[in-house]
Structure 1
Amino acid sequence: MEPIPEAAFEELVGEGLDRVPDELFDLLDNVVVLVEDANPDEPDILGLYEGIPLTEREFYAGVLPDRITIYRLALCDFCDTHEQLVEEVAITVVHEIAHHFGIDDHALHEWGWG
């Protein structure tokens, strides 16, 4: 589908964040969610988690926030309709947040969040 404007896409990412249960959202620690057009190294990926998952943290002070990046153009290219885009953005947001909690791709695919 045609790419939607950045502001409209950011709203979809916000809606995806709203779908995360409060109990989990409150456990996010030192993480920022960003929107970019595309990943320069892997232009087809929909989202990316960069950081140290909560399950692997030991001494964790004075570090920059973990980053979750959601890629607008890749998601728009992946989807055929606006309704599909809304759903895929939410899935991608949840998928990347799950990585922050130490959940790997294999488990996410098994649970339908791949």
Structure 2
Amino acid sequence: MPVEMSRERFEELVGEALDEVPQELLRHLDNVVILVQDEPPPGEGNLLGLYEGHALTDRGWDYAGVLPDRILIFRGPTLRMCEDEEHVVEEVAVTVVHELAHHFGISDERLHQLGWD
């Protein structure tokens, strides 16, 4: 049974997860926006988050004038996979860290090695 949670509460949880990220890292976020969407793109199944853009490690001298990178956190799949609000809080925090890591150029493989599945 999916967890019932308003979009506003879910967005609060994303904000709280960001509040837990050390300021030293947040200062290095560059040209990125974090958004909540209800569902992932068609065909993406139960994707909880998605990073779209150019990781900091891939940006060169010619990186300029581009739209902001996007970190998308998907409400629907998260609520469907969790048993209660406490689990949602944990999953949102892990998803936010996971997608921020992609902004910093950390691959899924490396995140897996670090235990951030």
Same fold (TM over 0.5): yes
Q: How many residues align?
A: 114
Q: Please say if residues 34 and 67 of structure 1, whose CA atoms lie closer than 8 Å, have aligned partners that are also in contact.
A: yes
Indicate whether 1:79 and 2:94 are aligned: no
Cα deviations by residue, 1:43-83 (Å, 9 ceiling, x for unpaired): 31000000000000011111000000000011001111111
Q: Please say if residues 3 and 73 of structure 1, whose CA atoms lie closer than 8 Å, have aligned partners that are also in contact.
A: no
Alignment RMSD, CA only?
0.9
Residue of 91, 103, 109 corresponding to 2:94: 91
Aligned structure 1 segments of 4 or more residues deviating by more than 4 angstroms: none
Indicate whether 1:12 and 2:13 are aligned: yes
Task: Give the Cα separation in 1 of the matches to 2:71 and 2:15.
Answer: 13
Name the TM-score, length of structure 2 as normaliser: 0.94
Cα deviations by residue, 1:63-111 (Å, 9 ceiling, x for unpaired): 0000000000110011111111100000000000000000000111111
Task: Give the Cα separation in 2 of the matches to 1:105 and 1:60.
Answer: 24
Letter matched to residue 106 of structure 1:
E
Residue of 54, 57, 61 corresponding to 2:56: 54
**Unaligned ranges ≥5, structure 2:** none
Name the TM-score, length of structure 1 as normaliser: 0.96
Q: CA deviation at 1:19?
A: 1.3
Q: Please say if residues 98 and 111 of structure 2, whose CA atoms lie closer than 8 Å, have aligned partners that are also in contact.
A: yes
